[in-house]
Structure 1
Amino acid sequence: MTQKYMSIEDFNETLKEWTGKTIEISKHELADDDNTILELTSISYSKDTRRLDEYEPMHTLQLNGSGEINTDEKKQQSLPSSLYEIPIEDSTIYKFEDSKFTLITDRGTYTIKLATDE
């Protein structure tokens, strides 16, 4: 098991190599768990300096592409837009371990890996 902590720059460069592939994103944020399958077409970031409160992130990782989210009822629904957003902070920890990324923020944990045909 190889674990590597990364800078955001290293994370960005490594994740870009997955463009054009199908990824799976698992989110555990507060009491909310979601799994999303996404055809990754591009990666971008946004910065919002006009936040209404501290819950809105200043920085957001945007995974662009079409996909489906698995709901609590074990049903799949199309994503409402061609964008999956992950809030990031200056304190976000980026790890790469066993062919998967883990982003740890104050709000939750996000895991990104290549999807498999199981």
Structure 2
Amino acid sequence: MTERTLTVEEFNQLLQQWSGETIKITKQELEDEDSIIMQLNDISYETDTRRLDEYEPMHALHLNGTGTTQTNEQELQPLPSSMYEIPLEDSTQYQFEGDRFSLVTERGSYTIERVR
């Protein structure tokens, strides 16, 4: 299957279909990589026009559910919150290939994939 670029609306429509699924989220930012396994219960978005600085995102994708994160010692720990936030920018690139989404921002890249 070939990777295709999505609009934010297409991304949202496809991702909403994954509610109730188990997903893996991988974040690569600078030299840091985190992986999370989550039972996805709900998907929401937030817009914050009153940001205090540029590090706070104007838009954010909230993946809500329960899950675990893998530590540097390869141990699984419960998520500290039932919500995982992905900062979104106007320039975010959304891509989809089969059972995997890729989001590329100025800060880093995120992969969201189904766990079978």
TM category (shorter chain) comes to over 0.9
Structure 1 residue ranges without an equivalent (≥5): none
Helix, strand or coil at the partner of 2:53: coil
Cα drift, residue 98 of structure 1: 3.3
Aligned-partner residue type, residue 7 of structure 1: T
Instruction: Please state if 1:44 is matched with 2:47.
Output: no
Residue 110 of structure 2 corresponds to 110
- Superposed CA offset, 1:23-80 (max 9, x none): 0000001121000000000100011122121111111000000111111111111111
Residue 91 of structure 1 corresponds to 91
Instruction: Please state if 1:59 is matched with 2:62.
Output: no
Helix, strand or coil at the partner of 1:11: helix
Residue 74 of structure 1 corresponds to 74
The worse-fitting range, judged by mean Cα deviation, of 6-15 and 69-78 is 69-78
What fraction of aligned residue pairs are identical, expressed as a percent?
55
Residue 28 of structure 2 corresponds to 28
Q: After TM superposition, which residue ranges in structure 1, 4 or more long, deviate above 3 angstroms?
A: none
